[in-house]
């Protein structure tokens, strides 16, 4: 043990003794010189990182994320989510579920709608400290081949349940009549 | 409640219900307006009142609306790619027990090569559908010929067992008369009537002990409505303006409309009718004798346009059937269902009608009439109504009229709220001369809403019911009948004689099958 280490140990012991005496009201006199220590600092909650996302039109997107709070715990957090407009995700198309440290955000775009929206998740603890996490969701057109659709539909028996086409976007085919000419059966003689 | 009182109540209710139910549905939804060949316009269901046809039920389904008789040269053929159907529910589950399915075939003369003329050597196909006179005895000048087949399916309309109807000669293919292009082609109106009459077939229906009759062909439009002004924000005062309908004395509601045929703006149009007459023993099944009926049209889900079209193959259709039109009670899709859901309604089946319930229980039409007429009514009558629309929300009176039928009259033993025309086959038909065009409300239990006959003035009845007529005790056969569906204080104008001024009655129609009259000629006559 060298002299520097001995010195540090002594200083630490002295400080500990002083704190103990002060806490017990000892030390003589009327105590008017004592200042209580500041309360513990409330740290902000935490929301895990969420990358920007992309999804197809007319499809729901579920995003799992985590929350935490050092002082009060994840279960005490008030978590909300909202989009920066309603043109892509209506108010009821942004839904939170889950509890505790693991939460799920479910996004449902308007039918047959494409575009981008910024989603903001906000977590607040009972003391009012807030954490915010924002990310962008792009809803992309889902292109369906008209030819594939036709063939799929034609392949069904006439009494089968029809294919639902809500929200379908049909990609443009080449401007070539021959594209479908081959699908036309030969005429009756 | 005894049977008589029950019938009276039902009759009273039914009589005032027609507005909601009796209008027709011409071009009523955005999508079907672009598909007139599959657009069902009216559906009639009634106990046959032709002499000697006791026990039979007549079913009429009209398609292709607002046909101008001069609409040549192609006129108004049915779609050979479509499936036309008439459905019957006889046990109250809102699902068809019996379906009559019609498929059409269009052919040119000369094995689909068409009639040809020798023009200085080559034989050249003519551009017209007829090149000379046409009669029942000689159709050699007819270049375009339509035929059809009919199947009866029991159970699910798509998965039930289908059997073809056959004629007296055992064949299953029936002809459809050429449209009434004019009196030069057919000689006269009487000649066309005889020509069309030759296309009424007696048929054997598999599973039925009694034969039926079928006819498909052009008819004069039977519906009567002040169509243009109605949809121009009701551009007239829709209340009886005379002391009595047609009196012309102006002693009714100040400024109100006078009944006259000129107010029927579809009086110059034709329509295409699918007509059947079936014995009730074939229709009622195990129910209480009340049947529900509606018509629908379906297309294949996919259509490929042929870039090199021919007469027989302008396109190719394939895939499963998709329903595109539906009609049970008239005016429902026209005036009750909201615009965003009209095409969905056209594609739906009665058993799924719960999705449209709010349109009936919380209707918008009375509110629109309030917006249009509250101020004029208050100014004319010196009243201070703050709302002339009935305030009994939910409108149980309309739900009863539209969705369940009236107990003792046209309600099935099992009640499934759903929109269809309900007919009690046990209530005897009334001859044309004795019918009331106000049906049950007019004391005629054989009329609307107990089924629907051509002469039932469903527009006027519907207007009155929508504005709360059922909230007042009804006078049926001298008895005051309170339906207890709502109260007089719910409907300030519930006793006002609303009307569109377009009269219709049984006298406007034939008294024999198919009842709807000879179409208007495209020329002459």
Between chains, do B158 and A159 touch, taking CB under 8 Å as contact? yes
- Average pLDDT rounded to a whole number, residues B391-413: 92
Task: Note whether residue B446 is domain-resident.
Answer: yes
Task: Note whether residue B350 is domain-resident.
Answer: yes
- What angle, rounded to 10 degrees, do the helices at B3-16 and B458-466 form? 90
Q: What pLDDT does residue A86 have?
A: 94
Residue A143, pLDDT > 80, answer no
Q: What pLDDT does residue B24 have?
A: 57
Task: Note whether residue B513 is domain-resident.
Answer: no
Domain that holds residue A90: 46-140
Contacts of B308 in chain A (CB under 8 A): 177, 181, 184
Q: What pLDDT does residue A26 have?
A: 39
Task: Note whether residue B345 is domain-resident.
Answer: yes
Between chains, do A162 and B322 touch, taking CB under 8 Å as contact? yes
Between chains, do B318 and A160 touch, taking CB under 8 Å as contact? no
**Closest CA of chain B from A166, distance in Å:** 12
- Average pLDDT rounded to a whole number, residues B135-157: 97
Sorting pLDDT into bands at 50, 70 and 90, what band is A16? very low
Q: Is A186 on the interface with B (CB under 8 A)?
A: no
Between chains, do A184 and B304 touch, taking CB under 8 Å as contact? yes
- Closest-CA residue of chain B to A162: B320
- The predicted-structure confidence for B224-245, as pLDDT tens digits, reads as follows 999 899 989 999 999 999 999 9
Contact B411/B6 with Cβ under 8 angstroms? no
Domain that holds residue B391: 3-508
Number of domains comprising chain A: 1
Nearest CB neighbour to A187, from listed B305, B307, B310: B310
**Closest CA of chain B from A164, distance in Å:** 10
Report phi then psi at A185, rounded to 5: -65, 155
Task: Note whether residue A168 is domain-resident.
Answer: no
Number of domains comprising chain B: 1
Contacts with A54 (C-beta within 8 Å, 6 or more apart), sequence order: A137, A138, A139, A140
Residue A158, pLDDT > 60, answer yes
- Compute chain A's Rg from CA coordinates: 32
Nearest CB neighbour to B320, from listed A149, A160, A183: A160
- The predicted-structure confidence for A72-113, as pLDDT tens digits, reads as follows 999 999 999 999 999 999 999 999 999 999 999 999 999 878
B495's tokens: 């006793």
Kindly state the percentage of chain B with pLDDT values over 70: 94
Q: Which residues of B touch A (CB under 8 A)?
A: 158-159, 300-302, 304-308, 310, 312-313, 316, 318-322
Q: Report the C-alpha gap between B86 and B462 in whole angstroms.
A: 24
Task: Note whether residue B524 is domain-resident.
Answer: no
Task: Note whether residue A115 is domain-resident.
Answer: yes
Size of interface A-B (CB pairs under 8 A): 56
B133's tokens: 């006179």
- B324: how many CB neighbours lie within 10 A of its CB? 21
pTM strictly above 0.90:
no
Report phi then psi at A112, rounded to 5: 60, 35
DSSP three-state, residue B422: strand
- Residues of A numbered 139-158 whose beta carbons fall under 8 angstroms of chain B's beta carbons: which are they? 149-150, 153-158
- Average pLDDT rounded to a whole number, residues B390-405: 93
Q: What pLDDT does residue A2 have?
A: 43
Strand A94-99 with A130-140, pairing: unpaired
Specify the CATH number for the domain of residue A79: 2.60.40.10
Task: Note whether residue A17 is domain-resident.
Answer: no
Task: Note whether residue A158 is domain-resident.
Answer: no
A137's tokens: 């969701």
Task: Note whether residue A85 is domain-resident.
Answer: yes
Task: Note whether residue A120 is domain-resident.
Answer: yes
Task: Note whether residue B34 is domain-resident.
Answer: yes
A104's tokens: 């799920």
ipTM: 0.73
The sign of the torsion formed by the CA atoms of B426, B430, B432, B436 equals: negative
Between chains, do A162 and B301 touch, taking CB under 8 Å as contact? yes
Contacts of B316 in chain A (CB under 8 A): 183-185
């Amino acid at each position: 043990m060298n002299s520097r280490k001995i010195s540090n140990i002594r200083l630490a012991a002295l400080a500990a003794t002083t704190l103990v005496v002060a806490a017990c009201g000892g030390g003589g006199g009327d105590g008017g010189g004592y200042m209580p220590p500041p309360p513990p600092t409330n740290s902000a909650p935490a929301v895990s990182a969420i990358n920007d996302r992309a999804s197809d039109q007319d499809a729901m997107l579920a995003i799992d994320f985590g929350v935490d709070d050092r002082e009060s715990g994840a279960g005490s957090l008030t978590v909300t989510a909202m989009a920066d407009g309603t043109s892509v995700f209506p108010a009821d198309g942004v839904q939170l579920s889950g509890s505790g440290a693991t939460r799920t955000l479910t996004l449902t775009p308007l039918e047959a709608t494409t575009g981008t929206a910024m989603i903001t998740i906000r977590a607040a603890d009972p003391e009012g400290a807030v954490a915010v996490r924002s990310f962008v969701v792009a809803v992309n057109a889902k292109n369906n081949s008209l030819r594939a659709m036709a063939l799929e539909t034609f392949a069904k028996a006439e009494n089968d349940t029809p294919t639902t086409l809500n929200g379908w976007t049909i990609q443009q085919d080449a401007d070539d009549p021959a594209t479908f000419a081959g699908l036309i059966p030969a005429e009756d003689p | 409640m005894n049977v008589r009182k029950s019938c009276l109540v039902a009759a009273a209710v039914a009589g005032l219900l027609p507005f909601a139910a009796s209008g027709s549905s011409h071009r009523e939804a955005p999508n079907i307006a672009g598909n007139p060949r599959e657009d069902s316009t009216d559906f009639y269901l009634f106990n046959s009142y032709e002499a000697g046809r006791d026990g039979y039920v007549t079913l009429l389904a009209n398609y292709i609306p607002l046909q101008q008789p001069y609409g040549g040269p192609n006129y108004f053929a049915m779609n050979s790619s479509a499936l036309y159907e008439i459905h019957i529910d006889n046990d109250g589950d809102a699902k068809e027990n019996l379906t009559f399915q019609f498929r059409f075939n269009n052919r040119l003369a000369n094995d689909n090569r068409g009639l040809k003329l020798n023009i200085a050597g080559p034989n050249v196909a003519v551009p017209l559908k007829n090149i000379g006179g046409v009669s029942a005895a000689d159709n050699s000048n007819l270049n375009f010929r339509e035929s059809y087949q009919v199947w009866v399916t029991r159970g699910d309309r798509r998965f039930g067992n289908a059997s073809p109807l056959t004629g007296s000669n055992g064949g299953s293919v029936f002809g459809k008369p050429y449209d009434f292009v004019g009196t030069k082609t057919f000689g006269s109106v009487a000649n066309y009537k005889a020509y069309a009459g030759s296309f009424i077939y007696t048929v054997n229906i598999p599973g039925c002990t009694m034969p039926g009759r079928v006819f498909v062909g052009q008819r004069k439009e039977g519906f009567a409505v002040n169509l243009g002004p109605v949809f121009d924000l009701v551009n007239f005062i829709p209340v009886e303006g005379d002391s009595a309908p047609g009196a012309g004395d102006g002693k009714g509601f100040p400024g109100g409309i006078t009944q006259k045929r000129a107010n029927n703006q579809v009086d110059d149009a034709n329509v295409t009718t699918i007509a059947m007459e079936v014995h009730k023993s074939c229709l009622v099944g195990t129910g209480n004798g009340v049947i529900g009926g509606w018509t629908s049209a379906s297309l294949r889900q996919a259509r490929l346009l042929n870039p090199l079209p021919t007469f027989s193959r302008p396109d190719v259709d394939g895939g499963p059937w998709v329903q595109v039109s539906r009609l049970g009670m008239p005016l429902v899709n026209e005036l009750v269902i909201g615009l965003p859901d009209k095409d969905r309604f056209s594609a739906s089946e009665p058993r799924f009608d719960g999705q449209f319930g709010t349109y009936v229980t919380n209707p918008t039409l009375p509110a629109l009439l309030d917006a249009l007429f509250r101020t004029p009514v208050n100014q004319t009558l010196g009243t201070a109504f703050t709302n002339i629309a009935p305030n009994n929300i939910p409108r149980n009176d309309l739900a009863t009229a539209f969705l369940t039928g009236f107990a003792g009259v046209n309600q099935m033993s099992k009640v499934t709220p759903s929109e269809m025309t309900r007919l009690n086959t046990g209530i005897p038909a009334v001859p044309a001369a004795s019918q009331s065009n106000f049906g049950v409300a007019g004391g005629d239990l054989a009329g609307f809403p107990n089924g629907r006959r051509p002469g039932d003035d469903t527009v006027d009845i519907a207007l009155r019911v929508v504005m709360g007529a059922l909230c007042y005790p009804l006078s049926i056969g001298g008895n005051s009948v309170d339906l207890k569906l709502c109260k007089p204080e719910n409907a300030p104008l519930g006793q006002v004689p609303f009307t569109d001024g377009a009269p219709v009655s049984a006298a406007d129609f034939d008294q024999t099958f198919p009842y709807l009259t000879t179409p208007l000629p495209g020329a002459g006559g």
